[in-house]
Amino acid sequence: MLTELTIQQFLAELASGSATPGGGSAAGLAGAQGAALLSMVCNLTIGRQKYADMENAMQEALDKAERLRLRLMELVEEDTRAFDGVMAAYRLPKDTPEQKAARSAAIQAGLKEATRTPMETLKACVAVLELAPAVVSQGNPNVISDGGAGVLAAHAGMMTAALNVRINLNAIKDERFVTAQNDKMEELIARGNTAKANAWSIVSERLGM
């Protein structure tokens, strides 16, 4: 499993000539890092008398961040499996008209699945970003830079996932599916950008930037 590799091994896999893992798995990892950094801020706020008024809010945020972190780690694996399915479809025989038709249908089905997975990653990254303003506004100021790093990581994950959605949509012939997925992607990106801007404004103010 990719998530069981060391950092060095994972990066070596990304750098290799293999099509997987690729940007989709990297998007999940970036989002998971963002969620983990928000969890860090929560954990370094919870249990400290100085921030007792924030205890309940930070515990709730921690629970959400951890669920998102775990989901994004799952998506690191799922993205690679989905794209491996596309590659398997491309390797199907195409010697007869029937084989060509079956291969084309398999490719299109695989591309749709390979679109849904980064869309889930995009959605999860947006959820991290929408959690961030509360965490960076109420969290321990001594780790606000870590919270800011989490915001940037989650945003990078979101935009990387969007790239993977877009490239798959470009190859899908089902116009209704393409339009629906594109609209969903744009709505999620708009939400994520708004949340990122809000969180980054708070981080900048608290750091005196």
Assess whether pLDDT exceeds 90 at residue 31.
Answer: yes
Look at residue 80 and tell me if it is in a domain.
yes
* pLDDT at residue 206, rounded to an integer: 95
What is the number of domains present in the chain? 1
Assess whether pLDDT exceeds 90 at residue 19.
Answer: no
* pLDDT at residue 48, rounded to an integer: 92
Share of the chain above pLDDT 90, in %: 89
What is the band of 92 on the pLDDT scale with cuts at 50, 70, 90? very high
Look at residue 14 and tell me if it is in a domain.
no
* Contacts for 140 with CB less than 8 Å, ≥ 6 apart: 41, 44, 45, 48, 51
Look at residue 1 and tell me if it is in a domain.
no
What is the band of 177 on the pLDDT scale with cuts at 50, 70, 90? very high
Q: Calculate mean pLDDT across residues 151-163.
A: 98
Look at residue 107 and tell me if it is in a domain.
yes
Q: What does the mean pLDDT of the chain come to?
A: 95
* Contact in structure between 169 and 181 (CB atoms under 8 Å): yes
Look at residue 114 and tell me if it is in a domain.
yes
What is the band of 145 on the pLDDT scale with cuts at 50, 70, 90? very high
Taking only Cα atoms into account, the Rg of the chain, rounded to an integer number of angstroms, comes to 20
Look at residue 15 and tell me if it is in a domain.
no
* pLDDT at residue 49, rounded to an integer: 92
- The full DSSP string for 1-48 is -GGGS-HHHHHHHHHSSSS-S-HHHHHHHHHHHHHHHHHHHHHTTTT-
pLDDT per position as a tens digit, 40-83? 999 999 999 998 999 999 999 999 999 999 999 999 999 888 88
Assess whether pLDDT exceeds 90 at residue 84.
Answer: no
Report the distance separating Cα 143 and Cα 6, nearest Å. 26
Look at residue 153 and tell me if it is in a domain.
yes
Look at residue 122 and tell me if it is in a domain.
yes
The domain that holds 56 is classified in CATH as 1.20.120.680
* pLDDT at residue 80, rounded to an integer: 87
Range of the domain at 86: 23-207
What is the band of 1 on the pLDDT scale with cuts at 50, 70, 90? confident
pLDDT per position as a tens digit, 104-132? 999 999 999 999 999 999 999 999 999 99
